[in-house]
Structures are given as C-alpha cells and as structure tokens.
C-alpha cells in the first residue's frame, strides 16, 4: 500500500514511500500510444505566462502574446453593450440548457453574422443555410473534421496556421496536407499559389472519397493576411473545378472567419460566392461552411460561443448536416452554453442595442487599425521579411529560428510567440504607445542574431 510520497520532478521516476514508480511504465500500462505522444503546454499561453511573470517583477514588459484585444492600458477590451446585456438576461437563460443544435433564433442569427448581408440574396438564388451552435469557433472546426472526413483521411491546410489546427487534426486522426500561404515561385496573384492548391486538391481527390480544407480568411491568424476579391475567386474556382471534375467526391470548403469582423472586407467571401453562383451552377458535391465565433466580435472569449454554418443548394441536406453535428456535439461537449446565445439574440433583435454594439465594435477596430499602421510603417523602414499584414489581430515575421528571435526580444522586455516558421506578434495586445518600440526591438533582435 502507498502511504506517503516524495516527488522528484526532475526525473522520470517518482519515489512513493519506499516504492520507486517508473512514469514510462505507468504510461505504457494506462495509456494507448495516441495519448502517450501528448507533451508540453500550449506555446501561446506559455509565453503569455512569461510576460505576466516579467510584469509582476516590475519590468517594463510589452505583451505581444495573447489573442485577445487589449485596451492601451493593458486591460481586456470588452464591448460594454455585450457585458450589460449578459447581466440582464433572465434566470432561464442564465441557468437552463440550450437545445442540442442551439437556440433556434441563435442558429438563424449565427448564419446572418457569419455570412453577412448577402445571406438573403443567396437564398434568393436557391442556396440554403443551416447552423449548429458550438463552443466557440474551435467547436465548429472540430465538427467539420469529425463529420466531413473519416479517420485516416487527409485534411488540407495552408502552410501557416493557428497551431491548434494541428492539434484538432491529430485528435480527429487526420493527416495534414499543406499548400503555401504565399506563392513559392512565380504566380499570377501575390497571395494565392494556385498551382500548388490545384495540385493538392487533385492529389487528395484521387486518393480518398472526401475532401475538407480549412481556410482562415480574412484576417488570418497568425499573419494578418487577407485575400482580395481576385484571390478569393481563384480559390473558390479551384474548389468548384475539383468538385466538377470529381462528381462522386464530397468537396468541403470551410471558411474560418473568426477575426472577420475586424477586416476591411468582413463578408468578402459571401460577395465572391454570390457573384459566382448568380450565374454559375453550384456543384451538388460542393459544400461551403463558415466557422462563426463570438469571441472577438462580441468580446466574450471565455464564454465559448460559436457555430458551424452550412451553405448548399439542398435544404434537406443542410438540415441533415445539422442533425449529424448536433449528435456529434452531444457526444463531445454535450451542448453549447445557452447564456451567450441568448445574449446575442437580445442584442441583434433590438435596433438600439445593435447600433450601440456596432459603434463599440467600430471603436475597437479603429484601435487595431491604428496599431497595425504604426507597426507596418516602422517595419517597412527595415529589412525584416514581414509577411503581408492586412487585418485582424496579428503580424508575422518568417524566420528559421523563431525561438532565438523571441528570446532575444524578451531580453528587451518584448514578449511574442515563436511558432513553426516564424514569430507571431499580437498587435491586439500591444498598447498603442508601445507599438513602435515593439517593432524596433524586433528589428534590433533580428540584426543582433544576424551578426
């Protein structure tokens, strides 16, 4: 019997009473291989923790780590209209369960907020929508991975992406194929490597029964890149052509629009889709999904409010997808929280509240825009290879040794996030008075390491 213990955290063996316990042996005993490979903590939260520690020690630390919009004084930026509406919700919405697919009015609202003003016009040309509430945009991504592909199928992603994409793919048993986020060689469009995209689509379509691709646009995390109308049309055409060429293969384009509300064209994809299918036929085997997140648009990150939104010519099929995803959600997280759903319904069904919410959202977007302009202007005077930084929360410096850049920047009290292929800078969390200094620290760090 184990009665007392001491723990040596530096070794793989724990001493429990007089019994030596080999951690590896215990893992092999209790855990399957897919669990044993999970190691480490989330890199973003790890670097945020380092910033917090430096700040607590009185250092003049600059926070470029988190994916939350902060005011210039470092406090969390919240939309007061949303906060007040939450606190005024009736008891039933504070405490009760929501229906498995979500509150009916929220499902309609989620489609409207994701697709935008063009939703009505799309319906007029025979395109139908449906939605299922999820715990944030991550829940929408998960439902698409679980529903649109089989375990072992390959999912198509861009070469730069939010790191939890990889975690989600692994959890769902999906190998990853990539196409470049920017053209590798000559290209007719500066942000779309059409040849590489078409090559990957062909490769996947000829090797499995279904195809799913996640595209985080506009205001891409971690770079801030947004496609323009021409770029969106090139991408959409590639998926249409793939679906047309392989009519027996299900082709799903998932648009992760988590940051869209802070982009110059928040509903650009809807415009592109409407333009295309106003005169062209929609292939029956093509599905377009949106991942809606209220985290950024309504500043309720931790309340986990989102939805997966489906668009397809068959009303019966989008209804069936809703049923499937509700069952998957039930078996994963039970159901999405009711309170944020009811809060958004209250705001967007009241003209005055909706206007007030919109004004505050515009104020927050102006803060982001001003920070980005200052950062881009200072970086343009340097030799650093900043990726196009158009919209949203982030900027990204590609490099071969991101950890060294981040460590060197931390020596000057700037904390950013080293990711695969480069360093992510959270413009959302850097106060306006620190933006230029943050850019200068990155420039100094780059040149110091290059010497």
Map out the domains of the chain as residue ranges.
1-39, 43-78+354-450, 98-349
Least confident of 38-42, 146-150, 264-268, 353-357: 38-42
Assigned architecture for domain 43-78+354-450: Alpha-Beta Complex (3.90)
* CA dist., res. 262 & res. 260, Å (int): 5
Looking at residue 122, its pLDDT comes to 97
Which pLDDT band, with edges at 50, 70 and 90, does 14 fall under?
A: very low
Q: Omega of the bond prior to 222 within 30 degrees of 0, cis?
A: yes
Averaged pLDDT for residues 11-15: 49
Q: Annotate 331-361 with b (16+ C-beta within 10 A) or e (fewer).
A: eeeebbbbbbbbbbbbbbeeeebeebbeebb
At a CB cut-off of 8 Å and minimum separation 6, what does 305 contact? Answer: 133, 135, 136, 293, 294, 295, 298, 336, 337, 340, 341, 344
Averaged pLDDT for residues 1-21: 48
Domains 43-78+354-450 and 98-349 share a fold: no
Q: Does residue 300 surpass a pLDDT of 80?
A: yes
At a CB cut-off of 8 Å and minimum separation 6, what does 137 contact? Answer: 256, 258, 291, 292, 293, 295, 306
Least confident of 25-34, 213-222, 226-235, 410-419: 25-34
Q: Does residue 47 surpass a pLDDT of 70?
A: yes
Q: Map tokens 């040309």 to a residue.
A: 125
Which pLDDT band, with edges at 50, 70 and 90, does 272 fall under?
A: very high
Query: Could you give the percent of the chain with pLDDT greater than 90?
Result: 87
Query: Could you give the percent of the chain with pLDDT greater than 70?
Result: 95
Give pTM, 2 decimals: 0.92
Domain range 98-349, its CATH number among 1.10.486.10, 3.40.50.300, 3.40.640.10, 3.20.20.70: 3.40.640.10
């Amino acid at each position: 019997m184990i009665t007392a213990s001491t723990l040596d955290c530096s070794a793989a063996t724990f001493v429990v009473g007089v019994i030596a316990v080999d951690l590896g042996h215990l893992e092999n005993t209790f855990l399957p291989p897919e669990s044993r490979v999970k190691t480490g903590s989330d890199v973003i939260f790890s670097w945020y923790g380092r910033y917090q520690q430096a700040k607590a020690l009185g250092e003049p630390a600059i926070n470029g780590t988190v994916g939350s919009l902060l005011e210039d004084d470092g406090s969390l930026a919240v939309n007061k209209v949303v906060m007040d509406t939450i606190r005024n919700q009736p008891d039933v919405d504070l405490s009760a369960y929501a229906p498995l697919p979500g509150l009916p009015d929220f499902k309609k609202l989620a489609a409207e907020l994701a697709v935008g003003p063009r939703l009505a016009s799309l319906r007029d040309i025979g395109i139908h929508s449906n939605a299922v509430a999820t715990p944030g945009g991550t829940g929408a991504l998960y439902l698409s991975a679980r529903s649109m592909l089989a375990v072992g199928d390959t999912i198509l992603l861009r070469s730069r992406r939010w790191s939890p994409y990889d975690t989600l793919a692994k959890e769902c048993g999906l190998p990853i194929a990539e196409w470049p986020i920017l053209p590798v060689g000559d290209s007719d469009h500066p942000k779309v490597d059409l040849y590489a995209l078409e090559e990957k689509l062909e490769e996947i379509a000829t090797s499995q029964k279904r195809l799913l691709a996640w595209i985080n646009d506009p205001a891409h995390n971690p770079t801030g890149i947004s496609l323009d109308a021409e770029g969106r049309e090139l991408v959409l055409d590639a998926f249409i052509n793939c679906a047309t060429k392989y009519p027996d293969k299900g082709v799903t384009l998932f648009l992760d629009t988590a940051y869209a509300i802070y982009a110059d064209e928040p509903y650009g994809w809807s415009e592109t889709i409407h333009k295309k299918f106003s005169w062209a036929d929609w292939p029956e085997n093509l599905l377009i999904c949106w991942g809606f997140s209220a985290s950024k648009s309504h500043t309720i990150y931790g309340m986990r409010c989102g939805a997966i939104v489906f668009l397809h010519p068959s009303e019966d099929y989008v209804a069936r997808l809703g049923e499937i995803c509700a069952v998957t959600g039930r078996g994963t997280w039970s159901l999405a929280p009711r309170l944020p759903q009811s809060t958004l319904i209250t705001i967007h069904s009241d003209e005055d509240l909706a206007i007030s919410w919109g004004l505050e959202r515009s104020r927050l977007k102006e803060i982001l825009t001003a920070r980005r302009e200052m950062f881009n202007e200072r970086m343009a005077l340097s030799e650093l290879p900043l990726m196009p930084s158009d919209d949203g929360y982030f900027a990204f410096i590609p490099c071969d040794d991101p950890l060294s850049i981040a460590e060197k920047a931390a020596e000057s009290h700037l904390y950013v996030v080293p990711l695969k292929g480069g360093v992510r800078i959270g413009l959302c969390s850097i106060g306006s008075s620190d933006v230029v200094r943050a850019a200068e620290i990155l420039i100094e760090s780059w040149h110091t390491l290059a010497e």
